[in-house]
Structure 1
Amino acid sequence: MTSIEEFRADRIGQPDGLMILDRVLEGVDFSGLRIDYFSINGSTLRGCDFRKIKVQRASWGGNPVLFEDCVFDGARIRFIPAADTEFRHCSFRNVILSHWQPSRFALVGCTFTGRLRDCIFNGRSSYEPDAPANTILDNDFSGAEFITSEFRWGVDLTRQRLPEGPDTFYAPDAATTITAAQNRLDQITDTTIRKTIKRWLGIYADATRKGQVQGFFAAKDFGVKYAEKEWPVLRALLAGDDPNNPPRPAPATRPAKKKPAARKKKPAARTGPADPDITALGDRLRTATDPAQRDETARALTDILKNPATSAARTHQATRALTNNLPADTPVTLDLTGARLGPDTAFTGTRFAPGSTFTRLTAPGDLTFTGCTFDGGAAFTDLTVTGALTLTDCTINGPADFARAELTGPADLTGTSFEGPAVFDAAAFTSTLDLTRTKFWADTSLEADFADDVIFNQTMFEGNAKRGIPPELGHENQGLPAGTIWGPTGPAWEE
């Protein structure tokens, strides 16, 4: 039986990665993997299970790679450029796929639901008219959401099942439809919207000149911020309707959003009889004056939290013993790698010494850091929080890594200062992300999946953020999102 451990990529300097080269694999279980780098080259994979994998950088191709009858359901994958990949009869249900832009490529009989971000499906291997054709046939995209994603260079859309509804428009003859819409542009009375849509129609028309016969247009083709106002006008223009009185979908009804602090707290967990050993560790942590003794005591508590055999009652007690007895403003080293916390955990004024890590930490409730200092950076890779994440008025003196984090509730980073590079690549934000008065002093990458609003309010970027702010947040390579500023010496936006 093949073990995925034999594919660890330590030898090429990728300790948090896998590399598969010149192999034929059948029925291998990769499910649940969370890795930074995954390279597959010159290989065939049949009937393999990739369910719920999270990959920050997937490089699949180069030498031909075939995936056949593989399952990627629930996967979160961010691709880097590659070629010569072929997918046949694979399942991509409830996925988040981003930056999937292969050149030489085949996609046959596959099913997609979930979100496709910055994905490009090319009908040819390049824009040249005589470039070799790619095979893209009989795929079901009807349950997928297209966000700054497209078909181009001659994909036969009559051989695909496409999404339907008010957020999409299909044109059997794209060139004729676009020309008719261009001829009716003067009917749009709002000059700002007219200018925007004129530019979009020019981009769509260019696609038809490069061989795309049918057209599939989606509300978020040019970013989320245009979906509510400009898209209904564009759709009406394409459909031959009145662009000044377009049908508009009913506004989505969302429950009123609450600040994390206003959330109704759950009843206190039943902890059972107190474990005297944990109580003693908490007392020792509170009274320790020697740094080595303090770190040793904290390590004893975190070891309890990292042990999968620890009961819920002891987990709750150890979490409280740790958070209630940490000294304020005195450095302490916490290694919470792979730990599971008790419900609704809060750190207040804690100073985390270099060497502290929170990788693969699971918080089954709210996780709060208020006024904390991270002296060696903050490693939150593969963090899972089922409640709200609050990281407010903190200072992170080093790199911050939230790659592949899974955040179910609202995330609030108000007033936090990121002194080093900040990475959120392949993270999933199911609810809102609040970046009010957040300061990013070094390079920043927000290449994450956002299912709800991102709040930019006096958000400062000092380093390079251009490549790290995805188009769906609305910058379109012309500036930062509304509500953000460059820092005192930050770079000008380069076209």
Structure 2
Amino acid sequence: MTTGGLSPGISDDSLYVEHQQLDRLDLSARNFKHFVVVDSRFEHCNFDRTVISHANLGAGDPISEYIDCTFDGVRMLHVWVGNARFVRCTFTNASIVDLDASAMEFIDCIFTGRIQKALFWGVPPKEFRTYQRSSNEFHGNDFSGSRLRDVSFRGGIDLRSQTMPSGPEYVYVQDAAAGVARAREMLQSWSDTHVIEIAERTLLRLQAQIDLGQQQFFFSIAGYSGAERLAKLFDSSDPT
């Protein structure tokens, strides 16, 4: 067990950790231009106010784990697919941009701040099923204090097991299949062709997610042309 200080594989601007068990390591306020973790476990480690870019948080098999770690004030940019599990970690006042979490698990984590351009998966895409599990554990997470933009929950993530943000810029559909069906019916009464085209493209994307097992939807309409109309469409499609 390595405790405190810096370990081999960590320099001023890069981190490469392989086959290590790290406890209470302080990596706060660093600027990592490259960040790669392989088959390692971080427990009670501090990544507060650190900048992490071009990262793979869990390269290869077996899974890398982050248990009871803090990422408060972290800035993450260009985080690639990682075979990683985060348990009871905090990401308060964080900025996370361009995150592919196809093979990442999150359990009882807290997020506040900004998440933009991110993909979270329950059942990962086929190309990422070489790991020793068929689905990602994803529950008990609190996103209620986050600003989500271009963030997608796919592959059967149960949004009822998460706490999501609320507000006029967000749409939540509790029954995905029924919601899309009712939305298509309502769309027939619209007359604005531009808004109809936007809505039809959205419905096609949502149907593709249903086909991959997603049973609830949550997405942001901020910045969409005709956003108010789209919000009305989906609000009406899910009476719950």
Q: Is the 8 A contact 2:14 2:32 kept in 1?
A: yes
Distance 1:181 1:207, change over 3 A: same
Identity %: 28
1:71 aligns with 2:70: yes
Question: What residue in structure 1 maps to residue 176 of structure 2?
Answer: 174
Q: Which amino acid aligns with 2:231?
A: R
Q: 1:127 to 1:190 in 2, by over 3 A?
A: farther
The aligned residue for residue 228 of structure 2 is 232
Following superposition, the deviation at residue 3 of structure 1 comes to 2.4
Q: What SS does the aligned partner of 2:55 have?
A: strand
Structure with bigger gyration radius: 1
Structure 1 residue 211 displacement after superposition: 0.4
How far 1:44 moved relative to its partner?
Answer: 0.4
Task: Provide TM-score, normalisation by structure 1.
Answer: 0.44
Instruction: Map Cα deviations across residues 161-188 of structure 1 (whole Å, 9 max, x no partner).
Output: 0111111121110111111111111322
Match of 1:405 in 2: none
For 1:25-80, what per-residue CA distance to the aligned partner results, in whole angstroms no more than 9, with x for missing partners?
A: 11111110012111111100000010000122111112321000000010001133
Aligned to 1:7: 9
Deviation sequence 1:114-154 (CA, Å, 0-9, x none): 111111110112269x9811100110011111111110010
- 2:115/2:149 contact within 8 Å kept: yes
> Which residue is equivalent to 1:51?
48
Aligned to 2:101, what secondary structure does the other structure show?
A: coil
Do the aligned partners of 1:127 and 1:210 also contact (CA within 8 Å) in 2? no
3-state SS, counterpart of residue 132 of structure 1 = coil
- Tell me how many residue pairs correspond in the alignment: 229
Q: Of residues 184, 187, 199 in structure 2, which corresponds to 1:185? A: 187
What's 1:150 paired with?
152
Q: Is the 8 A contact 1:119 1:149 kept in 2?
A: yes
* SS of 2:167 mapped into structure 1: coil
Map of 1:120 onto structure 2: 119
* Residue of structure 1 in register with 2:217 after alignment: 215
Give the distance between the partners of 1:133 and 1:212, measured in 2 at CA.
13
Does the 8 Å contact 1:177/1:238 carry over to 2? yes
Instruction: Give the secondary structure class of the aligned counterpart of 2:114.
Output: strand
Contact 2:57 2:82 (8 Å CA) reproduced: yes
Give a deviation string over 1:173-222, Cα, whole Å, max 9, x none.
Answer: 011111111111132222111111111111111111110001112124xx
Amino acid at match of 1:239: D
User: SS state of the match for residue 7, structure 1?
Assistant: coil
Which segments of structure 1 move beyond 4 Å, counting only runs of 4 or more? Answer: none
SS in 1 for 2:34: strand
Shift of 1:5: 6.1
**Larger displacement relative to structure 2 (156-165 or 78-87):** 78-87
Partner Cα distance (1:20, 1:179) in 2: 48
RMSD: 1.9
Contact 2:18 2:39 in 1 (8 A): yes
Measured in 2, the distance between the counterparts of 1:16 and 1:172 equals 44
Distance 1:182 1:127, change over 3 A: farther
Which whole-Å CA distance do the structure 2 matches of 1:236 and 1:127 have between them? 35
> 1:16 and 1:182 mapped to 2: Cα distance?
51
Counting strand residues as a fraction of each chain, which structure ranks higher? 2
Q: Is the 8 A contact 2:56 2:82 kept in 1?
A: no
Q: Structure 1: how far apart are the matches of 2:116 and 2:109?
A: 17
Q: Structure 2: how far apart are the matches of 1:52 and 1:186?
A: 49
Q: Is the 8 A contact 1:127 1:153 kept in 2?
A: no
Ranges in structure 2 where 5+ consecutive residues have no aligned partner: none
**Could you tell me which amino acid in structure 1 is paired with residue 229 of structure 2?**
V
Match of 1:40 in 2: 37
- Kindly indicate whether the alpha-carbon contact (under 8 Å) linking 1:122 and 1:134 is maintained by their aligned counterparts in 2: yes
**1:434-479 deviations in Å (ceiling 9; x for gaps):** xxxxxxxxxxxxxxxxxxxxxxxxxxxxxxxxxxxxxxxxxxxxxx
What are the equivalent positions in structure 2 for 1:380-395 lying under 5 Å apart?
none
Q: Any gaps of 5 or more consecutive residues in structure 1?
A: 10-14, 242-495
User: What residue in structure 2 maps to residue 80 of structure 1?
Assistant: 79
Taking CA–CA contacts closer than 8 Å with sequence separation of 6 or more, which of the two structures ends up with the larger relative contact order?
2
Q: Secondary structure at the match of 1:141?
A: strand
User: Which residue matches 2:207?
Assistant: 205
**2:143 paired residue number:** 141
Q: What is aligned with 1:102?
A: 101
